[in-house]
Structure 1
Amino acid sequence: MDEHALRELAEDRLRALAGPEAALREDQWSAIRALVLERRRALVVQRTGWGKSAVYFIATALLRELGEGPTVIVSPLLALMRNQVEAAAAAGVRAATINSANPQEWADIEEQVAVGDVDVLLVSPERLNNPDFRDAILPELTHSAGLLVVDEAHCISDWGHDFRPDYRRLRTLLTELPEGVPVLATTATANDRVVQDVSEQLGVGGEFAEAPGAMVLRGSLDRESLRLGVVRLPTAQARLGWLARHLAELPGSGIIYTLTVAATEEVAGYLREQGYEVASYSGRTDPAERQRAEEDLLGNRVKALVATSALGMGFDKPDLGFVVHLGAPSSPIAYYQQIGRAGRGVRRADVLLLPGPEDQEIWRYFASLAFPPEQVVRSVLNTLSQHDVLSTAALEPHVELGRTRLEMVLKVLDVDGAVRRVKGGWTATGQEWSYDAERYERIAAERAAEQRAMLDYLATDGCRMEFLRRGLDDPHAEPCGRCDNCTGAGYGADVDDDAVREAAERLRRPGIDLGPRKTWPSGMDALGVSVSGRIPAAEQASTGRAVGRLTDIGWGNRLRELLAAGAPDQELPEDLFQACVQVLAAWDWEQRPAGVVALGSRTRPVLVRDLASRIAAIGRLPLLGEVATNPSTTPRRATNSAQRVATTWRQFAVPEELAGKLAALDGPVLLMDDWTDTGWTLAVVSRLLRQAGAPAVLPFALASTA
C-alpha cells in the first residue's frame, strides 16, 4: 500500500472516530506514517485534546489491514481504559482490557487475542509483573504484537509529577520486542528533563537518537478554550461559601479537585445541602461507585464530581465546562495535567484555583512519603535474603515502612533486578544493588523547586497559561490573552456574609466515625506478639467517634493547632469541649455508657485527663480511672500496622483498681484519647479493657488522621 492510499485510509478512520469534518493534523500523520510505514519508535508530547489516541487507534487499524498482530497499550487508570475501549470501537477497532477489575474475563480475552478477535489489548503497568501474566501470557503477546503503545508516558520518569515504578518494567519489555515492532509513547505533561528521561528509556532519544526510528514530536501546549484564574479568599469557610454561591454560574458540568480524601466528602456533603447534584470521588471510593460517578458526569447528571487526583489522566469528557481546585497541587505540571480535563470540545471552559494556607502543609506530608533512606531499603533486602518467599504482609513486621511505601520500594527493587515477584510474594535475587542517593536527592530538590514554582504561579501578575507552558518547556509559550491577568477580569473574591456563615456552620459541624479494627496484622509472631487472624468479638472495640480529621478543611486547622508536635499540653479549649458535647449528644449508641476511662498519655496527659473529667461531669458518668502507661517501655513512631501493634502491646496496662470497677459495670465505657492514627492503640487498649471486664468499649478521640 503506497503512502497516498494509506493516508486516505487513515483519514477515513479518523472521520469514523471524530466526525465527518475531521482531518488529520500534520503531526498526527507524521506519527502514523512513522509507525506504519517506517516501523519507528516515537514520543509524542502534545496537549490534552490534541488527538494522541487517534494516532494509535488509526495506526492499529492500518497495521491490522497489513496483517500485523494486535496493539498492546500500557495504560495507567481504569477510567482511562474504559474511555479508550469506547473510543476504539468508534474507530472500528476491537479493544479489550485486562486489569484488576475484570479477572473473571481474562481467560476469554486471552483466547480472543490468540485467535485474532482483538485488535487492541489494554493492560495496566502493574499487570506486567503479575507472575501468571508475566510468565505465561506476556512472552507470546510480546512475540506477536504489531505495535506497543505507552500511554501517559511521563509516568515512566521519576523526574515527572506522577512517577509509577511499574512503568519502569517497560524497559525490559522493550528489549524483548522483535525487531521492527513500532513503539509509540504519548503524554501531555513532560518538560525537557522528563522528555529526555522517557526518550532514553523507550529508545527514542539519548543514545538511540541517531538510530533510524528515533522521533520526538512536540507541539504547542496552549489550550485555547481555557480561561485560567486564581481567587484568593481568607478562610476555608470563605472558599466553600464562594464556591456554593458561584458553582451555578460555571458553565456546564465539571470537576472540583481537593487535596485530600476527607475534603472530597466534606465539600460534596456541603454542596449537596446547598441543592447541588454532586458526588465525591477518590481512591477510597468503591470501584462500582466510581464508575457510576464517571458515567453521571459524562451524562451531565451531576453538576460536578468533587475529586482527588484519582480522577485524572485520560478521563475524557469533551464538553467538561470547568475545573476548580480547592487547594493548590504541589506542582504546576500536575496542575496543567488536571486542568487539561476541561474544554476539549467546547469554546470556553473556566479553570479556577482557590488556594488555602494549609496547602503547603499537605505538600510536606506527601513529600515525606518519597523513596526512603538507604538503611531502610537495605533492611527490606536483608529480610528477603533470609527467606525463600515473603508476602508483602509477612515482610511488613520486619521493616520500618508502611504498606504503601513498602510496595513502592519492592517495585523499584524488582525493576532494578534485586528482588522478583513470584507466586506468594517476593524473593531476593542475590543480584548486587546500589542505592542511587545522588539521584534521589536531585529528585527531592526538583520537588521542592516545583512547590516554589506553584507559589510563583499563584503570585504572578503575568499570563497564567504562559507560566504553565514555560514550566513544561514549551518553546511556543506566549501570553494567552484569556486568563484573569491578561484580561484584568475574572471571578471576583467577593462572597456574602450569609454564604460564609452557612459554610462555617457546615464546617464546624463535628463528628466522624472511627471504625474498629477487626483483624490483627500478619506476622505478629516475628515481633513477639502471639496474636493472629480475626480479633475475637469479645475483645473488639465498638465503632467510635471523633470530633474531626486533621485533614478536614473545617475542624482540621483547629485540631492541627492543638495537637501539633511543639504545641503545649493544656486543658481542653472551650470550643473543642462544646464540639465534643455535640458529638456525644448525636451518638446513636445501643446502650448509654456506664463510665469514662482516660487513655494514659505521655505527651498530653493534661489534655486527655481534662477531656475525660469534663465529659464525665457533663454526662453525669463516673470517671473510672486511667489506663496506665508502662514506664519501662519507650514509645516510638512505628511505621506500619504490625510494628504499631508491637509498640503498643507492652505500653499500656489496666490498674487493679480500674479493673475492679470495670467488672462491676452493666454498660459500655467511653475510652477518651487525644487523637488516633491507625486505630491500633485504641484496638489494643480496648482489648485490655474488655479482658478486664468491660462489657463494651466506645472509643472517643478529638482527632483522627484517617
Structure 2
Amino acid sequence: MEHVSNADLRAEADTVLARLVGDITGTARLREDQWRAIEALVADKRRALVVQRTGWGKSAVYFVATSLLRSRGSGPTVIVSPLLALMRNQVEAAARAGIHARTINSSNTEDWDAIQTEIAAGEVDVLLVSPERLNNPDFRDQVLPRLAAATGLLVVDEAHCISDWGHDFRPDYRRLRTMLGDLPPGVPVLATTATANARVTADVAEQLGTGGTSDALVLRGPLDRESLSLNVLALPDAAHRIAWLADHLDDLPGSGIIYTLTVAAAEEVTAFLRQRGHTVASYTGKTENADRQQAEDDLLNNKVKALVATSALGMGFDKPDLGFVVHLGSPSSPIAYYQQVGRAGRGVEHAEVLLLPGKEDEAIWQYFASLAFPSEDLVRRTLDVLSRTDGPMSLPALEPLVELRRSRLESMLKVLDVDGAVRRVKGGWVATGQPWTYEGERYEWVARQRAAEQQAMREYASTTGCRMEFLQRQLDDEAARRCGRCDNCAGARFTSDTSDASVDAARVDLGRAGVDVEPRRMWPTGLPAIGVNLKGRIPIGEQAAPGRALGRMSDIGWGNRLRPMLAPQAGDGPVPDDVARAVVGVLADWARGPGGWASGDADAPPRPVGVVTIASRTRPQLIGSLGSRIAEVGRLPLLGAVEYAHDASHISRSNSAQRLKALDGALVVPPDLQLALSQAQGPVLLVDDFTETGWTLAVAARMLRTAGAAGVLPLVLAVQG
C-alpha cells in the first residue's frame, strides 16, 4: 500500500498522539519511523519487530495503533509487559489518549472476573498481562484462548526477554509462541525492545513468526542517546566510592537512580547517604510492593534525590526528566548496562551517566553465572521423578527429591514446559512423556556469550575510545560513531575528589560489623519422603537462638574482606587479627545490645558459659583459631567441637531438603563434649565460618540442646546473600 494513500490515517494518528502526550495545540506529529510501524499494523495488518533506543516512543506506537484499530472495530490490544511498574505507567498514559486500559496480574486476582466481563462487553481497549500469567494454569486454559480469539493487536514489550541469547531471558515469555499460534489470521503483532543485538533480533523475529516471512517488517534504528553523557570514574575502594556519592550527589542534575549489584549494597548505600543528609530510598527485590510503589512515586514527583536500586528497578520505569544514572559496580553485560542507563534523559536535553566500578564486581558476576541452566543429569533426574509420580507435584514436594534450589528448579521447569517436556497444571507439574533433548552445545554457547559480555564490560571501563560508540557496537548498531559527549570524547566531567570527612565516615560505616542471623524455626516440607523423620515446627527446646555474623558476603563493607578469605579456592590458616578483633567487637555489641546478656534487661538470657565450634574439613585452622580467640577474649572455656562422622558424604548446598538429608547422621557430638555440656550451666556460643541456608547451625544446635546445652547462640564470620 502506498504511503500517500494513507494521508487520512496519518492525520488521525497524529491527533491521537497529541492526546497521548497532552498537546492541547494539536501540533504533535509522529516521526516517520513511528508512522511506518503504525501503518504496518493498522493498514497492512502485518507483524513488526521494532528495535529502537530507549525514549524513541515505542509505547506511542502501540497506543496510537490501538486507538486506530479500535475505531475500526478491532478487539482489544493485549500487551505482554514484564513489570508492574511499567503497567502502572502505561495505564496512566493510555488514559490521556482516551484509551481504557486494565491489567491482569498476581496482585489483582480479585478483579479478574470483572475485567473479563468488561472485555466481553467491549469496554476494555488495552489489557496488560505479565509474562508469568501466560502459563498460569487457570489463565492459560480458561482466559488465554478467549483472549487470543478476541485480540485486535498483540504487543510484546521488552521482547529481548524471549531470547535465551539475550541478557534477560525469561522462560515465561516464550509461552507467547502458543498465543501467536492461536491468533486468528490477520491479527497484527508488534514486538518492541531497545536492547537487542543482531543475534537476539534474528532470534526474536523467528520466534514471533516474523523472520523469513514476506510480510514481516523489522524496524531497527540508531541507538545513540544524544542526551546522555557517559562517564567512568575509577576510585580506590568502596569507601571512596560511597564517599564520592555523598560529596557529589547534589551536583548531579535533577533526580535519578543509583544502581547497585546486590540487595545488601543497596541497603548499605541508602543508609550511608541518608546519614550524610541525602533524601534517598532503596528499591530492591526484597522491597514490599507498597513500598516499591511509594518509592517510584517519590522519584517521579522529585521527592527524593535518588532511588538506590538493584536491577529490580529496570525495564519499564518511565520518568522522562530523570537526570542521572550512577552505577556503583559494573553490570556483567554492556547490553544490560545500556538498558539501565537508558532510563535517564528521555525528556531532558542533558543527563549524566556515571559508572563507578568496584573490585568486588567480578565475584558477584561469578555468583550469578553459577545459576545457569542445570546439568543434564539433574534435568533427567527431575523428569524421572515427575514421570514416576501419579498426578502433579508441587515445587515444595519436588524440591526434596532434586538437588536444586527452588528458584533454579522453577526456572528449569519453565524451560522444560516451553520445550514440551513438562506441563504446569493445577496442583503443580507433570511430565508429558514427550521426547526431550538436552541442548548442551547451546547452553555452553550462551555461557561463552556471558563470559564475552563480562570481558566487554571490563573493556568499557578501561577504553580510551568513545563510550557511547562502544555500547552501540555491542548492540550491532551500524550507525555507531563517536558521540562527542562522553568523558573520552569531551574530557572528564567529574574528578575523583572526595573529602576526608566523607571517606572517614564511609570507612566507619562500612567497617561497622554485625549482622543478625535468624534461626530456623520450621523444618522444610517433604523430608519424610526422603527418609528424614522431621517435619513441622522445630520445638523451642531444640532451636538455636538468634545469632550474629561479622558481615554479609554480598555487601561492600566486610563482604569485600570476607569473600576472598572464604572463597572455595582460598587456603586455610589462622583467623587474621583484624577479623578476630572485629568478631570480638560484634560479640561485645551483641552482649550490650537490646536483649543481650550484658544489657541489664529483665528478660535478658544468661551469659554464655562456653564456646563450641563446628569442625571444618576445608578450614580447620580458621575455625579452630577463631573459637580459641573468642574463648580467650571472653574468658570462656573452649568446650570442644561438633564433629563430622568419618563416613559423612559431601554436604549438598543445593536446597534445604537435600542439605538436611546430607546432614542427617553426618554430625556427631563427641563424648567429651557431651560431658562438658552436661556440666555447663548455661548457653554456649556455636562458632562456624559462614552460614548459607542456616541448616548446619540448626542441626548442630538441635544436637547440642539434646546433649544438655541450655541454649545455643550462633556466631559466624559471614552470611551468604
TM over 0.5: yes
For residues 540-555 of structure 1, the aligned pairs below 5 Å read 540-555=543-558
What is the aligned partner in structure 2 of residue 12 from structure 1? Answer: 15
Deviations 1:368-387 (A, max 9, x none): 21112211211111111111
What is the aligned partner in structure 1 of residue 117 from structure 2? Answer: 111
Whether the 8 Å CA contact 2:651–2:663 is kept in 1: the answer is no
Whether the 8 Å CA contact 1:594–1:665 is kept in 2: the answer is no
3-state secondary structure, aligned to 1:43 = strand
Write the distance in 1 (CA, Å) between the matches of 2:570 and 2:10: 68
For residues 648-663 of structure 1, the aligned pairs below 5 Å read 648-663=663-678
Write the distance in 1 (CA, Å) between the matches of 2:279 and 2:458: 32
Aligned residue identity for 1:111: T
Flag structure 1 segments of 5+ consecutive residues without an equivalent. none
3-state secondary structure, aligned to 2:118 = helix
Whether the 8 Å CA contact 2:652–2:658 is kept in 1: the answer is no
For residues 331-480 of structure 1, the aligned pairs below 5 Å read 331-388=333-390, 389-480=392-483
What is the aligned partner in structure 2 of residue 257 from structure 1? Answer: 259
1:96 Cα deviation after fit? 1.1
Write the distance in 2 (CA, Å) between the matches of 1:126 and 1:336: 25
3-state secondary structure, aligned to 1:452 = helix
3-state secondary structure, aligned to 2:311 = coil
What is the aligned partner in structure 2 of residue 70 from structure 1? Answer: 76
3-state secondary structure, aligned to 2:204 = helix
Is 1:27 matched with 2:33?
yes
Write the distance in 1 (CA, Å) between the matches of 2:415 and 2:432: 14
Whether the 8 Å CA contact 1:323–1:350 is kept in 2: the answer is yes
For residues 604-623 of structure 1, the aligned pairs below 5 Å read 604-623=619-638
Whether the 8 Å CA contact 2:85–2:316 is kept in 1: the answer is yes
Write the distance in 1 (CA, Å) between the matches of 2:344 and 2:612: 53
Deviations 1:583-633 (A, max 9, x none): 112223332432222122222222222222222232233333222221121
3-state secondary structure, aligned to 2:382 = helix
439-448 or 35-44: which moved more?
A: 439-448
Whether the 8 Å CA contact 2:22–2:96 is kept in 1: the answer is no
Is 1:126 matched with 2:126?
no
Aligned residue identity for 2:516: D
Is 1:594 matched with 2:594?
no
What is the aligned partner in structure 1 of residue 86 from structure 2? Answer: 80
1:322 Cα deviation after fit? 0.5
Aligned residue identity for 1:503: A
Write the distance in 2 (CA, Å) between the matches of 1:486 and 1:329: 23
Aligned residue identity for 2:615: G
Whether the 8 Å CA contact 1:593–1:670 is kept in 2: the answer is no
1:471 Cα deviation after fit? 1.1
Aligned residue identity for 1:203: G
Is 1:314 matched with 2:316?
yes
Deviations 1:537-569 (A, max 9, x none): 332222211000111111112112222223332
For residues 505-516 of structure 1, the aligned pairs below 5 Å read 505-516=508-519
Whether the 8 Å CA contact 2:231–2:492 is kept in 1: the answer is no
Whether the 8 Å CA contact 1:330–1:451 is kept in 2: the answer is yes
Write the distance in 1 (CA, Å) between the matches of 2:681 and 2:301: 54
What is the aligned partner in structure 2 of residue 158 from structure 1? Answer: 164
Whether the 8 Å CA contact 1:255–1:306 is kept in 2: the answer is yes
Aligned residue identity for 1:277: T
1:326 to 325, 328, 350: 328
Whether the 8 Å CA contact 2:99–2:126 is kept in 1: the answer is yes
For residues 530-545 of structure 1, the aligned pairs below 5 Å read 530-545=533-548
Write the distance in 1 (CA, Å) between the matches of 2:453 and 2:634: 51
287-296 or 416-425: which moved more?
A: 287-296
For residues 158-307 of structure 1, the aligned pairs below 5 Å read 158-205=164-211, 207-208=212-213, 210=214, 212=215, 214-307=216-309
Write the distance in 1 (CA, Å) between the matches of 2:279 and 2:664: 47
Q: Provide the aligned length of Structure 1 versus Structure 2.
A: 702
1:666 Cα deviation after fit? 4.9
1:557 to 541, 550, 560: 560
1:696 Cα deviation after fit? 2.5
For residues 42-53 of structure 1, the aligned pairs below 5 Å read 42-53=48-59
1:663 Cα deviation after fit? 4.4
What is the aligned partner in structure 2 of residue 149 from structure 1? Answer: 155
138-147 or 355-364: which moved more?
A: 355-364
1:228 Cα deviation after fit? 0.4
Write the distance in 1 (CA, Å) between the matches of 2:480 and 2:22: 30
What is the aligned partner in structure 1 of residue 661 from structure 2? Answer: 646
1:282 Cα deviation after fit? 1.1
Flag structure 2 segments of 5+ consecutive residues without an equivalent. 597-603
Write the distance in 2 (CA, Å) between the matches of 1:365 and 1:646: 24
What is the aligned partner in structure 1 of residue 569 from structure 2? Answer: 566
Write the distance in 2 (CA, Å) between the matches of 1:545 and 1:172: 50
Write the distance in 1 (CA, Å) between the matches of 2:345 and 2:364: 28
646-655 or 425-434: which moved more?
A: 646-655
Is 1:685 matched with 2:700?
yes
Write the distance in 2 (CA, Å) between the matches of 1:15 and 1:593: 72
Write the distance in 2 (CA, Å) between the matches of 1:94 and 1:538: 58
Write the distance in 1 (CA, Å) between the matches of 2:442 and 2:565: 38
Deviations 1:473-510 (A, max 9, x none): 11211111110011023111232333222211111111
Write the distance in 1 (CA, Å) between the matches of 2:535 and 2:61: 53
Aligned residue identity for 1:217: L
Write the distance in 2 (CA, Å) between the matches of 1:26 and 1:592: 76
Is 1:695 matched with 2:710?
yes
Whether the 8 Å CA contact 1:591–1:667 is kept in 2: the answer is no
What is the aligned partner in structure 1 of residue 599 from structure 2? Answer: none
1:60 Cα deviation after fit? 1.0
1:38 to 32, 41, 44: 44
Deviations 1:130-171 (A, max 9, x none): 111111111101111111000000000011111001111111
Write the distance in 1 (CA, Å) between the matches of 2:389 and 2:321: 54
Write the distance in 2 (CA, Å) between the matches of 1:568 and 1:416: 43
3-state secondary structure, aligned to 2:45 = coil
178-187 or 74-83: which moved more?
A: 74-83
Q: TM-score, normalised by structure 1?
A: 0.97
107-116 or 268-277: which moved more?
A: 107-116
